[in-house]
């Protein structure tokens, strides 16, 4: 469990560092909120990310009150055999249309900074 929390905390530190650099470049005074997009199968646990965020933003003057918003991106795979897409979480690696296992994850593994509210 601790290792997983440490994984999310490392992500939080990375995001905060990128935002601090952006704030310096853009001469921003304060970041009020950040919206992250998390893929459904990204391996990131939103609750752990939120806990790490609450602790870490207090250490950054420009972000000390910044809210974290998380949007989940669905995991979608495409079947190389029939060309159709399907929900990966519900079906795994097997295409529900033709039963082929020749499939590739298209979306759902990413983590993006989608939006920043700042002044």
Q: Does the annotation flag 119 for ligand binding? A: no
* DSSP 8-class letter at 28: -
119: nearest Cα among 71, 63, 53, 36 = 63
DSSP character string of 58-119: GG-TTTTT-EEEEEEEPPEEEETTT--EEEHHHHTTS-TTT----EEEEESS-EEEEEEEE-
Q: Does the annotation flag 79 for ligand binding? A: yes
Q: Does the annotation flag 95 for ligand binding? A: yes
Give the residue numbers of the binding site for Zn(2+). 79, 82, 95, 98
Sequence ranges of the binding site: 7, 79, 82, 95, 98
The annotation places the binding site for Ni(2+) at 7
């Amino acid at each position: 469990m601790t290792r997983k929390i440490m994984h999310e905390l490392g992500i939080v530190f990375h995001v905060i560092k990128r935002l601090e650099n952006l704030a310096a470049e853009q001469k921003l005074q304060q970041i009020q909120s950040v919206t992250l997009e998390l893929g459904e199968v990204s391996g990131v646990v939103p609750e752990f990310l939120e806990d790490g965020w609450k602790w870490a933003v207090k250490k950054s003057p420009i972000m000390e009150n910044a809210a974290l918003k998380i949007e989940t991106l669905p995991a979608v795979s495409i079947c190389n055999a029939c060309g159709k897409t399907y929900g990966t979480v519900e079906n795994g690696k097997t295409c529900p249309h033709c039963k082929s296992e020749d499939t590739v994850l298209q979306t759902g593994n990413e983590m993006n900074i989608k939006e920043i509210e700042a002044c």
